Structure 1
């Protein structure tokens, strides 16, 4: 059985529009993973992995916004060219 295509979605975080899509779900053995980039220009793509460690993650849009903010604080520059920016998100950052 083939998996349905994962369509990109748009989200505005702190006044910037990003395009994101789920790359992998935990049911597929591994962390929840996203690819995120600026929607209005080419630049560095964020490849974020979110290990759930049994914790229930927040709703996906809330999680994506938190991942974007954490990546920006960690040095991701989505408007600059460069290789993909990998980020593993600490579940304690969103599991309260």
Structure 2
């Protein structure tokens, strides 16, 4: 799975380029705060390889229940990328998405 360039944000972590994306609209379960916010991360130099899916511990800021939530900061994305790499995510190799659950 590759991340679309449109709407994604670039980030450099430890000298390597990545793109990250939060879907524009919440899913039904995210809107009702049944599921937490999640975002996807891909290497810029290896499109189509294993994507990182990060599931945070907090709800989306645009949830429909007005639950307290915090925005996703680039520092949190960089931290998630480092954690995923430590836990075995191999962004340069093809394969299934790697899921990292925070929290």
TM-score tier, shorter chain, comes to 0.7 to 0.9
In the TM superposition, residue 16 of structure 1 has moved relative to its aligned partner by 0.5
Once residues 62 and 46 of structure 1 are traced to their aligned partners in structure 2, the CA distance between those partners, rounded to angstroms, is 16
Worse overlay, 68-77 or 27-36 = 27-36
Query: 1:47·1:85 contact (CA, 8 Å) conserved in 2?
Result: yes
TM-score (ref. length: structure 1): 0.74
In the TM superposition, residue 57 of structure 1 has moved relative to its aligned partner by 4.9
Query: Are 1:34 and 2:47 counterparts?
Result: no
TM-score (ref. length: structure 2): 0.70
Once residues 12 and 55 of structure 1 are traced to their aligned partners in structure 2, the CA distance between those partners, rounded to angstroms, is 29
Deviations 1:50-84 (CA, angstroms, capped at 9, x unpaired): 01288865751011001000100110000011011
- Larger RCO (alpha carbons 8 Å, 6+ apart): 2
1:83 — aligned with what?
96
Larger relative helix fraction: 1
Structure 2 gaps, min length 5: 1-5, 60-66
Query: 1:57·1:63 contact (CA, 8 Å) conserved in 2?
Result: no
Q: What RMSD, in angstroms, separates the aligned Cα atoms of the two structures?
A: 2.5
Deviations 1:9-49 (CA, angstroms, capped at 9, x unpaired): 10000000001001376x62221211001011121000110
Structure 1 gaps, min length 5: 1-5, 91-96
